[in-house]
Structures are given as C-alpha cells and as structure tokens.
Amino acid sequence: MRILVTGAKGQLGSDLVKELEKRGIEAIGVDMQEMDITSASQCREIIEKEHNSSALEAVIHCAAYTAVDKAEDEPELVRSVNADGTENIAVICRDLDIKMLYISTDYVFDGEGTRPWEPDDKRNPLNVYGQMKYEGELAVEKNLEKYFIVRISWVFGLKGNNFVKTMLSLAQSRDELRIVNDQTGSPTYTPDLSVLLASMVVTDKYGRYHATNEGLCTWYEFAEEIFKQAGIKDIKLIPVTSQEFITKAKRPHNSRMDKSKLDKNGFKRLPSWQDALKRYLDEYMKGQY
C-alpha cells in the first residue's frame, strides 16, 4: 500500500509518515520543496507520477498555511494555499479515483455557546485562517465522494512551534505570564493523531470527523498543567479574558468537539491530553526536539 502525505516536514506530517511506515505502508512524503500545492500543474505531475509508478491508495493532505494572526494581513496568499491548494489536490484525487483525507480545524466554527461542535454543524468561521480552511473543506466535498475531513485543535507535536514549547521557552525569561482563560478546547498531540489517521485512511468510512485528545481545558489550565508536569514552580500565571489579551485574529471561545462519530465507526479515541503532555515532555527533556 502506498499513501502520499503533503506537509511531510511539518508537525503532523512528519509524525504521520513515521506511523504509516511503522505499519508497513509506503509513505511518500512531499513538502513545499517537492510539490508546491498552489501549482495545479505541479501537483498533477507529482501525484500522477507516483500513482503511475505503483498505484496510490490515498492522499493525506496536511500541508497548510497556519500562521493564524499573520493570515489576517495576507488573505489571498492564505486562500491560494488552504483553499485553492486543497482544491488542486482534490481534483487530482477525483480524476485518479484516489481517497483523500483532509486535515481541517475547529476554526471553521464561530465558537459560540458551550455545546460541543458536531461534525455536521453549520460552519461559520471567525477569521481568515478559518474561512480558508472552510473553503478547503468545500473544495473536498464538491469534488470527491471518497473523502475524510478530520478537524483538530490546539496542536502540539515533535516538530515546529506550539503552545507547549512557547510556554517552556517563556518560563526561561519571565517570572509572570498572562494566559487566556475563557477559551475552552482540547489539545491534540500529533503522534496520537497519527495513529488514528493511519487507521482511518485504510477504511471506507468516509465523512467529517473531529479528533483531539480526550478532556477539556482552557489555555490557562493547559499552561498550569505544562508547568506542573515540567516541575517549574517559580512562575506566576495570571488568568485573563480574550478582551484583555487582544490578538489580530479573533479566536473561538468554544472549541469543544463532539467525537462520538469515531466511536460509531469503530475508531479508537486518542488518550487524555494530560497523558499526551506527559509523553511529550518526556521526549522534550531528552533533548530530542
């Protein structure tokens, strides 16, 4: 079995390639240097070449523009990557009759209320990043029948920047941090997510899914647990509201995600986010980051 993974050098893509290979699946990892997803012709050339040499089972599309605040200043660039780039891949998957698994985000919702978002709820993005990921979802749904859309949130993993690394870094130079305490969601650890995605993509249980580690927290509570598990005691955390901590891109207050569709389709849920954080910190302390 052969599966092509976009964004293979990124936080999720790198872990996903490892997980697929661990299962004896040939993972063809491509990143910007190998395949510019904004170029329809280049996408077609690369994917068709791989498919013709030995048939591809699926494309897992992890590549994305993810700088949420910066996205507000360059919406057309974000659209070219997250919406048009996704459509480029979806069209080729349709033409070659290949499954597609698209990684999306809780940011396609407006974050109102307290009810967990269900996969088929109405989408109403708050910011440019969310809008373009939403348009990416529409491109997948318009062009394909054999697709998975998997929405994730609050991602942290072995590569790249994330909230955990930021907190640990700031703790080295600050003795006080102001952390937002009115946005609720679930962290997602990329090695755990990779296990689920590798299990899902080989099935025909298509549709929209939500996948995060189990349990809820605010960013403030996430930070508290990071410092508790890391044994860092000489830092003061101050809970603040979103209004007190202004960011260029508006963030959803409610990122609770309903994951019962995983259960209905026989997929194993991810471990608790606290357990995931412990395993992450174990690796971090080994200096492997």
Sequence-ordered list of residues with C-beta below 8 angstroms from that of 184, at least 6 positions apart, any chain: 114, 216, 217, 218, 253, 254, 255, 256
Length, in residues, of the chain: 289
Q: Where are the beta strands (DSSP E) in 111-225?
A: 147-152, 155-156, 176-180, 184-185, 188-189, 207-210, 217-218
Is 129 catalytic? The answer is yes
Report the C-alpha gap between 147 and 101 in whole angstroms. Answer: 6
Compute the distance between CA of residue 155 and CA of residue 174 in angstroms, rounded to an integer. Answer: 24
| Spatial contact of 98 and 239, defined as CB atoms under 8 Å apart | no
Of 28, 87, 19, 84, which Cα lies nearest the Cα of 56?
28
Amino acid in the structure at residue 130: G
Active-site choice (129, 134, 147, 280):
129
CB 130 within 8 A of CB 64: no
CB 274 within 8 A of CB 217: no
Q: β-strands 217-218, 184-185: how paired?
A: antiparallel
Distance, in Å, from the CA atom of 39 to the CA atom of 26, rounded to the nearest integer, reads 25
Q: Which residues are catalytic?
A: 129
